[in-house]
Structure 1
Amino acid sequence: MSAGLTPYAEALGMRIVEGGEDGATLLALDFGHELEGRPGAWHGGAIAGLLETAGYAALRSELVRQGRDPLLKPINITVQYLSTGRPRESFARGRIVRLGRRNANLEVEAWQDDPAKPIASAVMNILMVEEEASKVL
């Protein structure tokens, strides 16, 4: 993301690790007891926050590359929890499935040791409102 992370992401401790060869932003989040759900496991809300932030980072990165700066409004976000997040660093990266003029569809995965073994995934549908149109809404 060109402007950095949101205050929410920073409060959780998320950080941008790299922009991949495909331009997708990789986010990381260290485990901390404030992010713990049951003992020794990530809280589902922390995982969902990591997924959502990674999705928006991927979308914002592509929009900046295209010279666009719309207001992003979530239509829906669906999270699938696939396995328990252990008490260690987690990563997430979003991928744009479809980017239209007004809507974007994204897939996001979070993992710990191996990207091929995700702990959670999400599907995001985002409405993009250009500046002129947002004044009318």
Structure 2
Amino acid sequence: MKIQKDFREALLQARATSDYSYLTELLPYARKIGMSCQSLGDDALFVLPENRDNTGNPVLPALHGGVLGGFMEMSAAIHLMLFMDEPKIPKIVDFSIDYLRSAKIQDVFAECDVVRQGSRIANVAITAWQSRRETPVATARAHFRLDSL
């Protein structure tokens, strides 16, 4: 229960201050890959910084697809937590990703769009890009079950 209380407090603090680092520091995978989240008006921009440890193919070199997918899934979950009316913990039900081109070993950005949110299920679309938003490296769809905090 202490973890849920800490998480709820971090979520409420992040919402109140628009400093989303509270959440990314509390989530172990987000912390491991170094992702961050920035307030962008009434929205959020997720950033996966350049890190050679995330290399999947050293010959190209290219970002590991699993790291990119994990980053996009984590972005969608955090996005839901930040922008739902009532704070809930999203639990992944289904995740489908389309890799559109190789992601270079450089910063990756992601934005999320809640396609539909009900009382128990949410559907989120995620787009990830590097140098130009118009040229995504991957797109994904995620379905989450929403549990009360």
TM bin, normalised by shorter chain, reads 0.7 to 0.9
The superposition leaves residues 55-93 of structure 1 with CA deviations (integer Å, 9 ceiling, x where unpaired) of: 112111112xx2x12232211011110100012111111
More helix by share: 2
- The runs of 5 or more residues in structure 1 that have no matched partner are 132-137
- Superposition TM-score, scaled by structure 2 size: 0.78
Q: Which residue of 1 aligns with 2:8?
A: none
Greater RCO (Cα-Cα under 8 Å, separation 6 or more): 1
Q: Which residue of 1 aligns with 2:7?
A: none
Q: Secondary structure at the match of 2:104?
A: coil
Alignment of 1:70-81 (within 5 A): 70-81=88-99
Q: Which amino acid aligns with 1:51?
A: M
Alignment of 1:1-137 (within 5 A): 2=14, 3-5=22-24, 6-16=27-37, 18-21=38-41, 23-39=42-58, 40-63=61-84, 66=85, 68-130=86-148
The CA deviation at 1:130 is: 2.8
- The runs of 5 or more residues in structure 2 that have no matched partner are 1-10, 15-21
Q: Which residue of 2 aligns with 1:135?
A: none
Counterpart CA distance in 2 for 1:71 and 1:97 is: 18
Quote the sequence identity (%).
26
Q: Secondary structure at the match of 1:95?
A: strand
Counterpart CA distance in 2 for 1:49 and 1:71 is: 17
Q: Which residue of 2 aligns with 1:134?
A: none
- Superposition TM-score, scaled by structure 1 size: 0.85
Query: Structure 1: which 4+ aligned runs deviate by more than 3 Å?
Result: none
